[in-house]
Amino acid sequence: MASNVRQQVIPPKVLLTQWLGRLYEHRLTTTTGGNLSIIDGDVMYITPSGGDKAIVPAEKIAYRKLGDSSFQGPVPPSMEWPLHLAAYEACRRSHRENEIRAVLHAHSKTLMAFSLASCDRDKKDLGRNREEKKHDDTQNEDDPRIPNTRCILGAFQACGKVAVAPYALPGSQELADACYDAFSKGADCVILLENHGVVVVGESLHQAYDRFVSLESLAQSMVYSQPLGFECKPVEEHVLRRLAHKAEKRAVPSFFDENRVMSCIEKELRADLCKFVRRAYGQQLITSSSGSFSVRLPKAGNAMDGLSFLITPSGVDRKEIEEADLCFLSKHVASPNQETMISTQPTLLQFPVHHPSSPERVSASRAARMHATIFEHHPNIDCILVTQPPYATAFCLTGCPMDSGFMPESHVVLRDVQTLTLKEALKHNGEGLAKTFDPEKGINSVLVQNYGVVTVGKSLLQAFVQLEVLESMCCVTLQAMTRCRPLAPLTKKQRMEVTEAFFKHV
């Protein structure tokens, strides 16, 4: 069952405690900070005031029927309840009430750091009247308080327009009004509060959380990129919108084949793929919805067999992904005796495991066609991982090349890490990216500017090791650059010695 369906059957009080605990678990808020709310039917539920945010009993969740003037429950609601109500009301007034059913407020470290930027504010009167700030504060690439989502395609797609609300006393009606104004002026989902934190809305807590971590991860990578000495290079908004539109047009159609028999090998690969997805999430190499993992299925010997592979779905929580959530994609080829020729670009067919009567069908990752293109160009590549880990993404933000030759381990595992622009990588359904890989020459990892990291391998373990070591070495490199320059990589002679020692039998 898809994780989004699982979320729908969990009692709202339990759901709030689970997501608040998850915020704390990933150090995205503190013991005293952060609050969540959801609307279920005609009732609003909100986390309580005070207490330990890591452990909130479900029975302490406050609630009130929409239109009522007071909350029910043994503990008063969060002091920020006016802010939550203001967010819902602003979305209702803009006819988005069906799209906005959850509000998340948290104090994540990097976004809080962004909110401290002065931006020529009057330091003597941080609580100034809002009437002095009538201009539209939605996404401004020159505003140092706002991480520019145009720097990473995934963040742009997840977050939309980001706004800044002026400082106001926490829990005050003034703060609620400021948030109302920002959402009313066009903020899609995220508001940064000056000197405070962040407010995110979504159609579910999962979507709100995903938008939140997408922006926080982008902010982290922007901070990490500073030692590289290169400016982050945003893509023009019209280009990103065109790419997003193309991704939707290329969305893999969903079919259900009741006659398809799943082999034991496929079942084992499903289990392995889920294991590595959850492992990557646990190591913060991917977020709750970012990243796509795929694995090729072996041919069954049928003359009609072409390319078949498993891939992660779109929008399913990576922490809780299950074998049944994965999508099976197949690209058949014509047998020699067929009279009707099949197109050279035949449609990928998706076969979800879920029964047609299921309340929700998962859809394959929007990057599915890019995965298929790589598989088609490289019969010796069986696994593909697309991710945005924070340190490696710092290199993707700037387009700065990454040298793998600082340590023997990284030189052995990574060998030659390539860098591509977004345009080069994604043209013709990823053909530019596919042609860059060359496993025989040790090119198994590519940093795609404004996109993320793509690693490949003969097995899930090999592709994952590539990703893990790449992120580790990007972290080491960036930390070393904060201490000294220039850095001292292995010499040409040392690299040759390592190559001969580890690859002499290859």
pLDDT at 136: 45
pLDDT digits (tens, 9 = 90+) for 132-160: 444 444 555 578 889 999 999 999 999 98
**Is pLDDT at 497 greater than 80 in this prediction?**
yes
Q: What is the pTM of this model?
A: 0.87
User: Considering the domain 3-120+130-224 in this protein, what is its CATH number?
Assistant: 3.40.225.10
Question: Do the domains spanning 3-120+130-224 and 267-335+346-503 agree at the CATH topology level?
Answer: yes
Cα separation, 284 vs 269, in Å, equals: 22
pLDDT at 258: 58
pLDDT at 249: 55
pLDDT digits (tens, 9 = 90+) for 14-68: 999 999 999 999 999 888 888 999 999 999 999 999 888 888 899 999 999 988 8
Place of tokens 């703060």: 175
pLDDT band for position 420 (cuts 50, 70, 90): very high
pLDDT at 127: 41
> Among the CATH numbers 2.60.260.20, 3.40.225.10, 3.90.1150.10, 3.40.640.10, which is that of 267-335+346-503?
3.40.225.10
pLDDT at 477: 95
pLDDT band for position 122 (cuts 50, 70, 90): very low
Place of tokens 């982050």: 232
Count Cβ atoms within 10 A of the Cβ of residue 367 and give its class: 0-12 exposed, 13-18 middle, 19 or more buried: buried
The domain ranges of the chain are 3-120+130-224, 267-335+346-503
H helices of 26-129, in order, are 81-93, 109-115
pLDDT digits (tens, 9 = 90+) for 55-114: 889 999 999 998 888 999 999 999 999 999 999 999 888 878 778 899 999 999 999 999
Whether residue 366 contacts residue 158, with contact meaning beta carbons closer than 8 Å, is answered with no
pLDDT digits (tens, 9 = 90+) for 396-407: 999 999 999 899
Whether residue 375 contacts residue 307, with contact meaning beta carbons closer than 8 Å, is answered with yes
Cα separation, 84 vs 105, in Å, equals: 9
How far, CA to CA in Å, does 285 sit from each of 167, 279, 422, 424? 33, 9, 20, 24
pLDDT at 5: 61
